Structures are given as structure tokens and as C-alpha cells.
Structure 1
Amino acid sequence: MARVSRRSMLSAAGTVAATVAAAKAASFGNPDEPPQGALNTKGNPASLTDPGPQNPALGAQFPSAQSPPPTDVSDMPMFWASFNNAPKRIQNGGWARQVTQADFAIAETISGVDMKLTAGGIREMHWHLAAEWGFVTSGACRVTILDEMGRAQVADVKQGDIWYFPAGLPHSLQGLGPDGCEFLLCFDDGKATEYNTLLITEWLAHTPPQILAENFGVPAETFAKIPLHQLYIFQGELPGPLAVDQAAVKGKLGFPPNSFTFSLGSMPPTRQTRGGEVRIADSGNFLVSKTIAAAMVTLRPGALREMHWHPNADEWQYWIKGKGRMTVFDSGPRAVTMDFNPGDIGYVKRSNGHYIQNVGDTDLQFLEVFRSPYFADVSLSDWVTHTPPALVAQHLNIDPATIAKFPNNKPEVMPE
């Protein structure tokens, strides 16, 4: 047997170590060891094949999951969901579907409902244990609400308008002509479900007739024909003129001092750049909205919702139109990219960095919804440009003169 010297063993070990180090060498845009992404499979195409069972139609909607960028690393709780595969509850007069934390584990602070009402279709008079925030995606709707002082509001809302009903305040919704309405509902509790509300029909049906008589000061027989089961959504007659309904509900105390509705879509942009615009509604301008803040973001083709995070609340997203791609960053490091389409829902945990790209050829529009009285975000470029340049330069190996060219006015959407 040949004798192996200590020197030859060390030499061989050094060669192997050098080879492994070279194979794992990190580079700009390809930072991980071992390297990740299709970029690192050159010369070995079999690394990319997927011969197993698959659904091509579904997989094609998620190119970033099929082939993540090489800067993605590790994993995260799934932050994509969708109304598109949520079962509909269909009744004569409309339908509803929902995504709660039971369906979307990461979504702790907000649950969502997509609802359609026909012209004249009624969402039964009811109230919730959670606050309700609504956004009209199409058509028009008449809303009614009574506050705790006994002051009522009746209002018509159109596409782009929002409403906010505090927890416990009773309300109703009805589709208007000619085509009814569709709207998003957000509740300030991820576990809240649209199918477990307090309904007027159910309370009356489960109250002794004599109690009803004493409560309303009429004979018990007055209630003999009340529904014995919930109506939930049902077809009704189109309401009359708005002014007539408003006059009918006005009491001695008048109307609520602050409206429960707000025109988000038609308000002037809070921030506008060449890349798009942002409109924000929170308790600062929509005074009654004490537990939910929201932003409607529009990105032009190729634009970027800048790298940022929200220090005060988790972000629940509703994707309205266009095609988008979002990357979320967390400690670890962890970075994951996902694709979004109309009807999808996204969720970003508080203080997790993220950015959104418009990867389509039309405008991208989505809502950012927060369980908070106010909207807040921190811009990465704003932070970098408001930190002493010499300090930043030592972190990033970038010349201070170049750092001075970074956006320093919190653009929200790039390009400026």
C-alpha cells in the first residue's frame, strides 16, 4: 500500500475546498451560497425539468414561483390567496364569497368578502362584532346605517367609493340600477366571517311573540308573518329617490356629524409621479374610519411601488386590475416573490420589507388595507438619503456623491 503523506492530504483537501468555494462564490444579483435560481443551472438543463403531475393553466399564473429570481432565499408563510377559487354563496338577489384566516393562515388582522347584489338585491339588515370597511368595484349601492346616538345616514355609493361601519352599528346594503353592484368588504379581524352576522330576521324569529309586542308596543299578531329563517341576500324592489329615503330617516338629532362614506377613487392623488399615483383614506380625512386605513395604488406599465415597509400594521391587499409581482423580505434572510392577478389577495406582515412591480402592459391597481387609524410607511430610499452619507457609504460601498442622487422625497411610486 502506498504511503500517503500529511502534506499530500493537506494539498488535496485544499484543492477540494477551493473547488467548493469557487462553486459557491456569491456575486451581485446572485448572493447565496449555495447559489439559487435558474441562472445557476447552466450546463445542466435537467435541473429545470418538471416531469411530475402538474396543472399548466394554474402554474402559468405563477412564473415567479416556477422560477424564482436568484435573489430569493428561504421560504415564508404563503402570502397569496384569491377570491377566484373561494366558493360562492349564491342566493336570489346576489352572492358572496370570503377569505378569512381559516382559509389564509397569515391574515391575522383583516378578513375579506367579495359580494354582488343585483339591482334591487338586498343584503339583509344586520350588524357585526367587527368593524366593516367597504369598497365598490362596480355599479352603485345604497347604504343605510344608524349610529349609537340614534342618527341615521342613507347614502348612495359608486365605483371607487368606500364606507366604514364601526363594530356594532346596524346597517344594510342594496344594489341600485341598472346593474346592481359588486363590492369588497374588509373586517378588522382576520377571523371574522360574513356568514356569522347578527341578523334582524333571526333575532325576531327567536324572540317570544309577547316580548316583541311589549318591545314595539303593538299586538303580537303584527309579527305573525315574519320570516322564520334568515334572508341574508334576497331580491327586493329598487329603492326610491335618495332624498325621499333621507327625509324618512331623519330624527330630532339630525344626521351623523361625520359621513360614513367617502369618495376614495375620485379624491385628488395623495402622491403622484410619472410611475403612478397613490390615494390614501384614513382617520385623518375619512374621520369615522377609526380602525381601518387604506391606500389605492395605481402603477403604470413598468412602474414600481418603491421598496418600503409599514411600521404600524400588517398590510392586506386586494388586486383590482392588471398584473403585478411582489417580493417580500424578512430577517433570516428570507425573500420570496409571488405573482398577482385581479381578484387575488396579498398579505405582508408588519415591518416586512416589500416592493411591487407592474409586469403587465396595462395599469396595475390594488388596495392596501391596514388595521390602524392611520396610514404609515417607511421608504428605503428616504431612510438612506436621510442618514449621514459617510455612514451609508461605509455600509454599501457607494460613493456619497452617488447616494445624493437617490430619491429623497418618499416618492411611493417610481419613476418619479
Structure 2
Amino acid sequence: MRLEAGAIREMHWHSVAEWAYMLSGYVRVSTVTPDGQVYLADVGPGDLWYFPPGFPHSIQAKNTTEEGAEFLLIFDSGSFSEDSTFLLTDWLAHVPKEVIAKNFQVDASAFDRIPSHELYIFPSNPPPSDVASDMVVPNDTPVPYTFPLSQVNGTKTGGGTYKVADSRTFTAATTICAAEVTVEVGGMRELHWHPTEPEWTYFISGKARISVYASSSNARTSDFQAGDIAYVPPSFGHYIENTGNTTLKFLEIFKSGLFQDISLSQWLALTPPELVKAHLHVDDATIDKFSRVKQEIVGPAQPASTAA
């Protein structure tokens, strides 16, 4: 979704959880919990927010950049439809004005100008630059509903970096988690699989190739570029290779509170060597090079050794 500077995504809520990743620009988000606790914060590029099912929330683009803001929205139901969003104006357009007045204990004339249909996205003045000055009351939720992933140092590997945001770090996000991955030229996300949850991959920049193994001698290889989406079912073995000449960046997103993967290299390295040799017909020197810790991202292939 993209909002021009100052534009508002109408106040609304969903019957499912909403998770978001900021692609560019800055927005101000807010929510109120069923206990009447409030949370309001600014979110910038590479940062996240999460709203549980039924939590009403707002999203407004700041004027930090002329282009406004763009963000990726994820919902924890594959059958979710934006048409099923509960919108403030759409609801009140279907409530008698006398009932609205009774609810708020004000004169009915106060609502003479409420919209007769949904606003969805509409222009407005940008919020004040200081988030504290925009608060009706100070934030008092037990956990934050935004997460500054951009400020987390990625774990460096031989072929890139990765950082994980799940319920162990972003405690509010109990049903959706993600890894932000960068792969340098010639590198790849190592051969692996995810035990119980499908992977939904969104490519932010660069070019990639994914090969998926689906058991029963079935496999498929596909190419991707920025803006593309991949889907890998649970337990399907796969890799993601950088096939371009720039750094590849993507998100691995899961309907789970915890990020989990199984590394092929680690599995084989921690299995009795005789078993591995019986399967793959490799020697001890080769097995000794298998990594006993997850590599996550590996660099370009090692050059073949030459005889003296």
C-alpha cells in the first residue's frame, strides 16, 4: 500500500491480525486495546508493526519525504479479503444519526456532515513531527505494537546477512514472524526447509532463483525479481540464490510466532559420518567441511582444488 504525504488509511480493524514492513517513507500508527490502553508511534523504512485481530488502528503518512510512504501488509489468513475490512465511516453510514447521537451523548446535528460512504484512503494534513504532541494520553500498553527492525544489527555470514523478528524479540507479534535476508553477489540462502509453516517470500531488491524439492522426485526452479512473491509449502527443501549483479534482499514471512528452519549442512554434519557416507558416497574430508552451525547464507562456490 502507498500513501501520499499526509494521506490517511481510514481508521479500521480486521477479524485477522495485521503485520507490516515499511518499504519507504514514514508513517504514524495507533491502536487501542480492548482494555482501553493506547499505543501511538512512528515507523520508518525497514521497521514493523503488528495489530492483533479486532484491534482498531490508524495509519497516516508523514511528510518526512515528498513521496509519502509505502509498506507491505501481511495478514495471518490466506483467505483474507480487503473487502472484509471494518471501516469507521462505512459503519456509521449504516447507523441512524439519532442512534449515533445517543451513543456519544451529543446533539444529532453534530453528525450532519459525516460521510455517506467509506473514505478508505484520503488526503489530509500531515501529523505533527513530534509524536508525543499527537498523543491524547501517554502510551500505556504492556507491549509495543511496532518494532525497529532497521536498528537491529544483522548477523553477518559468509554470503550476506540476516535478522529475525519473531515473538522472542517483537513480543506483540504472536502469529506472524519474518527474517530479513541479504545475499551478496554469487551467494545463496543455504539448502534448508521450514518444519511446519509455509514460507511466503517477498523480494525487495535484486534477482533470485529458487529451486524447491517437493518429494516424490518432484522439483521446480523459478526466477524472481524485486516486487515478486514466492510460496514454499511446509517442509519443502529449497534454496534462494542471488543470480544478479547486485545485493539480493528479501523477506521470509511465516504464519507463526517463532521462526524455525532446518539446515541441510548442519543436519549432515551432526549425523554419524558413516551414515552420511553410506548415503552420499563422500569421504571423511568432505564431511569434515560440513558446517555444524547453521550458515543461513553462504558465499560463492569454493574453487576446485588442483593437483600439485
Question: Contact 2:184–2:299 at 8 Å: present in 1 too?
Answer: no
Corresponding residue number in structure 1 for 2:200: 316
Q: 1:159 to 1:371 in 2, by over 3 A?
A: same
CA distance in structure 2 between the partners assigned to 1:389 and 1:415 by the alignment = 25
| Displacement after TM superposition at 1:205 (Å) | 1.0
Structure 2: gaps spanning 5 or more residues: 301-308
2:49 aligns to what SS in structure 1? Answer: strand
Superposed counterparts of 1:14-413, under 5 Å = 115-177=1-63, 178-179=65-66, 180-240=68-128, 241-246=130-135, 248-250=136-138, 255-269=140-154, 271-413=155-297
Corresponding residue number in structure 1 for 2:305: none
2:231 aligns to what SS in structure 1? Answer: strand
1:336 aligns to what SS in structure 2? Answer: strand
What is the letter of the counterpart of residue 133 of structure 1?
W
CA distance in structure 2 between the partners assigned to 1:193 and 1:141 by the alignment = 23
CA distance in structure 2 between the partners assigned to 1:144 and 1:174 by the alignment = 9
| Displacement after TM superposition at 1:330 (Å) | 0.9
What is the letter of the counterpart of residue 3 of structure 2?
L
1:195 aligns to what SS in structure 2? Answer: helix
| Displacement after TM superposition at 1:401 (Å) | 3.0
| Displacement after TM superposition at 1:222 (Å) | 1.5
Question: Contact 1:265–1:279 at 8 Å: present in 2 too?
Answer: no
| Displacement after TM superposition at 1:190 (Å) | 1.0
1:213 aligns to what SS in structure 2? Answer: helix
Larger radius of gyration, structure 1 or 2? Answer: 1
Q: Deviations over 1:312-347 (max 9, x none)?
A: 211111100001110000111111110110110110
What is the letter of the counterpart of residue 150 of structure 2?
G
CA distance in structure 1 between the partners assigned to 2:25 and 2:105 by the alignment = 40
| Displacement after TM superposition at 1:195 (Å) | 3.1
Using the size of structure 2 for normalisation, the TM-score is 0.94
Query: What is the alpha-carbon root mean square deviation over aligned residues?
Result: 1.2
Corresponding residue number in structure 2 for 1:57: none
Q: How many residue pairs end up in the alignment?
A: 297
CA distance in structure 1 between the partners assigned to 2:277 and 2:267 by the alignment = 13
Question: Contact 1:135–1:162 at 8 Å: present in 2 too?
Answer: yes
1:231 aligns to what SS in structure 2? Answer: coil
Q: Deviations over 1:19-38 (max 9, x none)?
A: xxxxxxxxxxxxxxxxxxxx
Q: Deviations over 1:163-201 (max 9, x none)?
A: 001111000111111321000000001111223310000
CA distance in structure 1 between the partners assigned to 2:41 and 2:233 by the alignment = 34
Q: Deviations over 1:64-92 (max 9, x none)?
A: xxxxxxxxxxxxxxxxxxxxxxxxxxxxx
Using the size of structure 1 for normalisation, the TM-score is 0.70
Question: Contact 1:282–1:375 at 8 Å: present in 2 too?
Answer: yes
CA distance in structure 2 between the partners assigned to 1:287 and 1:397 by the alignment = 45
| Displacement after TM superposition at 1:249 (Å) | 3.5
Question: Contact 2:273–2:284 at 8 Å: present in 1 too?
Answer: yes
2:29 aligns to what SS in structure 1? Answer: strand
1:215 aligns to what SS in structure 2? Answer: helix
Q: Deviations over 1:268-310 (max 9, x none)?
A: 12x3212101110000000000000100000000001000000
Corresponding residue number in structure 2 for 1:111: none
| Displacement after TM superposition at 1:210 (Å) | 2.1
| Displacement after TM superposition at 1:399 (Å) | 1.4
Q: Deviations over 1:350-381 (max 9, x none)?
A: 00000010011110000000000100000001
CA distance in structure 1 between the partners assigned to 2:164 and 2:6 by the alignment = 31
What is the letter of the counterpart of residue 245 of structure 1?
D
Overall identity of the aligned pairs, in %: 48
CA distance in structure 2 between the partners assigned to 1:175 and 1:237 by the alignment = 10
Question: Contact 1:312–1:372 at 8 Å: present in 2 too?
Answer: no
